Amino acid sequence: MEEKIYQEAQKKIEEIEQEMKRCGAWSDKPFDEKPLENMGPFGMNTMPFERWLQYVLIPKVHEEIKNRNFPPGRSTIATKAVREFDGRDEYIPLTNLLWEFDKLFPGNPEIYKAQDRKKRILSALMLVIVGSTLIFYIFSK
């Protein structure tokens, strides 16, 4: 069972990397370590979420798999992705892969354990619709 989590995490992180390249979220710019200083959760203080995925999450997951330090207690990356990618339809497949990555770890809340892909997509879309409607309502007054 333990070896299986490493294999699944490796497969999923490779799929995430490929999807980032496909949807244009991947940067070909050289990595600069300065944004890692005081970056805060998900890099929010110093870099866009996409750069955090590319320069922090993906290398860290590869390192943890190599050193067999997995699994973490809980992953909430997809929740952040839903917020960050709100209104950017080209990132829906990436967000779905991040939901699948989050599901790999036993400490996740029940929402991450949903097996039905349509439920996950509908949940994410509902968050986007409700958020967008609320913003429109606030600014239309």
Instruction: Enumerate the domain spans of the chain.
Output: 2-140
pLDDT tens readout for residues 37-46 = 777 777 777 7
The tokens for 119 are 């439920």
Q: 70 is written with which tokens?
A: 């997995």
CA separation for the pair 116, 8 (Å, rounded): 18
In order of 31, 40, 43, the CA distances from 35 in angstroms are 9, 10, 8
Q: What is the pLDDT of residue 111?
A: 41
CA neighbor of 116 nearest in space, from 86, 96, 95, 98 = 96
Cα separation, 94 vs 3, whole angstroms:
25
How far is Cα of residue 20 from the mean position of the Cα atoms in its chain?
A: 10
What's the pLDDT at 113? Answer: 47
2-140 fold: de novo design (two linked rop proteins) (1.20.1440)
pLDDT-flagged residues of the chain (< 70): 1, 34-36, 70-73, 106-120, 122, 126-127, 130-137, 139-141
- Read off the pTM: 0.69
